[in-house]
Chains A and B, each alone.
Chain A
Amino acid sequence: MIKAEWFYWLVGAVFLAMAGQMFRDRTNPRRLGTAAFWGLVGAAFIYSTWVANKTAPAEPLGAAVLVMVCLAGFGRTGRGTAPTASAERRAASAARLGNRLFVPALTIPLVAMVCAVVVKGWHIGRTPVLQTGSETILGLGIGTIVALVVAMVMVGERRPTAPLHAGRGLLETMGYVLLLPQLLATLGSIFQASGVGASVGKLTEHVLPHGQTYLAVIVYCVGMAVFTVIMGNGFAAFPVLTAAVGWPVLVQQAHGKPAVVLAAGMLAGFCGTLCTPMAANYNLVPATLLELKDQYGPIRAQIPTAVALLACNIVIISAFAF
């Protein structure tokens, strides 16, 4: 059986290899900090295997995460000016290879899809070929390896360091914000453990007048959106707002259909995700990847849609739940 953890080791190894390249890159004024940051990320990816199955203590990993936070937080990371192909060479190569260039790029999703749909059902004896529940992410890994081989053969590149260098350039472009989503997930669990949800519940109980169902719908949906803006993640907002308003007021007092209330409530949270820089992986990472001067460009493009959809969710709950 191919295990999800093997894939995480591969990702960790890629981080470590790239950190090695960063360490040697003298064009980067902060090469030591940058290499230390991504090296720690890579090592943490691998060590996490034993934290996840509870055979190693989590405290050293937590300390490593805080070191990463300090390295990035106090500006010790940067990027080099690794030489890339000139615009003329890229245009010439595009003319030579034509649409074949899309083949490896499309191989990744194609193989991922085949793994998620077809290979998912394969068994050797009794054990499934791919670890149950992780078929899609394993598909992504397998698809990438296949695509890399196809790409290197197609463009006639023999050095395995070349794609690593190219990928490292992209990683340096994205920078430390890449780590933010993982950190936010952690913050969510700390909020839970420290009783933030219960506190918000008490607050809304005081503020919200009894029997005002539609007002409560608005509070639930807008609350989901606002909390998601703060936390960067609808998953963290959902337990807080559902325990405070969604379940006790909308489902128990007003007898709303739980499926409508909760599904639309979660989607109201997603409206918040469209508007917040805290959702770095969706809003800031693309901005740096696309080399935008205005980091908030994607958010600006999304806010009108988010506001309209928030209103839609309020209407959907009001119209169909009661």
Chain B
Amino acid sequence: MLALLGVLVVVLGFATKRNPLLVVGVAGVVTGLLGGLSPRAVLADFGTGFAASRSVSIFVITLPVIGLLERYGLREQARALIARFAALTTGRFLALYLILRQLTAAVGLTTLGGPAQTVRPMVAPMAEGAAERRYGTLPERTRERIRSFATSADNVGLFFGEDCFLAVGSILLITGFVNTTYKTHLEPLDLALWAIPTAACAFVIHGARLLRLDRCLERELAAAGAALTREEAAA
């Protein structure tokens, strides 16, 4: 029961907004020691944990390419490109990205998208570009909102797409854990099939919210945008 104090450390650290790295580090050391591990074993756990989880940080390899392209105007060009497709509003564009991200993740291609690979260099500027075409320069608050929704489309698409694929980590974790702990035989295919209903719900719910974003932008910006366009026309 003492080991549960580690959970408490996380909750408290979280609630008091301490540095998250420090919170998790302290929680690990506290839980390990209270749970009866020797200091050496705790150190070894931190080491093996780092070594085994390196794959989550490998997207760093793409940063030099993306950074170089950004210096040469990748984000500006993403905005310019989207401005040519009049029918593609911010919400429709993000809903399209959502379904593409879900479908590609569902066939196992989870590394196609991501915050560094697609959202920052292309998806967010395009979503902003679509709104700028319609309403002119965007207020800071609206810009932040659109960027947040661009991130959300990427996350929701990834989370609720990848589980429809057989060989993804979470499916393998389920079968691995259940088959070894309870001596049964669960097929990855069954699990992947039962991930589809939630995936469909995710597309409907988040897609609808993205389309609703268009109407919110309309309400907030129509007046301000009209005023700006008149000014531009006068100038």
With A14-B60, A258-B178, A280-B20: A65-B205 Cβ-Cβ less than 8 Å? no
A139 CA to B37 CA, complexed, in Å: 39
Q: Does B233 contact A (CB under 8 A)?
A: no
- For A176, give the chain B residue with the smallest CB separation: B21
Most buried by A among B31, B55, B187: B55
* Cβ–Cβ contact B68 & A238, under 8 A: no
Contact of A98 among B77, B144, B178, B184 (CB under 8 A): B77
With A230-B10, A238-B177: A305-B66 Cβ-Cβ less than 8 Å? no
List B residues 32-63 near A (Cβ within 8 Å).
32, 34-37, 40-63
Chain A residues closer than 8 Å to B57, beta-carbon distance: 11, 45, 178-179, 181-182
* Cβ–Cβ contact A62 & B3, under 8 A: no
* Cβ–Cβ contact B112 & A112, under 8 A: yes
Q: Does B215 contact A (CB under 8 A)?
A: no
The contact string, 1 if C-beta is below 8 Å from chain A, for chain B 157-186, is 001100100000110011001100110101
A177 CA to B56 CA, complexed, in Å: 12
Most buried by A among B52, B63, B109, B174: B63
List A residues 57-76 near B (Cβ within 8 Å).
57-66, 68-70, 72-75
From residue A109, how far is it (CB to closest CB) to chain B in Å? Answer: 4
List A residues 3-46 near B (Cβ within 8 Å).
7-8, 10-11, 14-15, 44-45
* Cβ–Cβ contact A101 & B77, under 8 A: yes
With A45-B54, A297-B147, A302-B155: A230-B11 Cβ-Cβ less than 8 Å? yes
List A residues 160-189 near B (Cβ within 8 Å).
162-171, 174, 176-187, 189
List B residues 1-32 near A (Cβ within 8 Å).
1, 3-4, 6-7, 10-11, 14, 19-22, 24-25, 27-29, 31-32
From residue B139, how far is it (CB to closest CB) to chain A in Å? Answer: 13
With A15-B60, A51-B51: A167-B115 Cβ-Cβ less than 8 Å? no
With A91-B73, A231-B10: A267-B3 Cβ-Cβ less than 8 Å? no
* Cβ–Cβ contact A177 & B20, under 8 A: yes
List B residues 186-205 near A (Cβ within 8 Å).
186-187, 190-195, 197-198, 201-202, 205
- For B158, give the chain A residue with the smallest CB separation: A282
* Cβ–Cβ contact A104 & B119, under 8 A: no
Contact of B156 among A66, A112, A190, A274 (CB under 8 A): A274
Chain A residues closer than 8 Å to B10, beta-carbon distance: 187, 230-231, 278
Q: Does A212 contact B (CB under 8 A)?
A: no
Q: Does B229 contact A (CB under 8 A)?
A: no
* Cβ–Cβ contact B65 & A148, under 8 A: yes
* Cβ–Cβ contact B65 & A104, under 8 A: yes
* Cβ–Cβ contact B34 & A194, under 8 A: yes
- For A277, give the chain B residue with the smallest CB separation: B20
9 new A-B contacts at CB < 8 Å, known A93-B73, A166-B71:
A45-B57, A92-B73, A112-B111, A164-B64, A168-B67, A177-B21, A178-B60, A193-B45, A282-B115
24 intermolecular pairs with C-beta atoms under 8 Å apart = A11-B57, A15-B60, A48-B50, A58-B47, A59-B40, A59-B43, A59-B47, A69-B21, A85-B72, A90-B70, A101-B72, A163-B65, A178-B57, A182-B57, A186-B49, A186-B50, A190-B37, A193-B32, A235-B169, A238-B170, A238-B174, A292-B147, A309-B160, A312-B201
Interface residues of B (CB under 8 A from A): 1, 3-4, 6-7, 10-11, 14, 19-22, 24-25, 27-29, 31-32, 34-37, 40-78, 80-81, 108-113, 115-117, 119-122, 124, 140, 144-145, 147-152, 154-156, 159-160, 163, 169-170, 173-174, 177-178, 181-182, 184, 186-187, 190-195, 197-198, 201-202, 205-206, 209
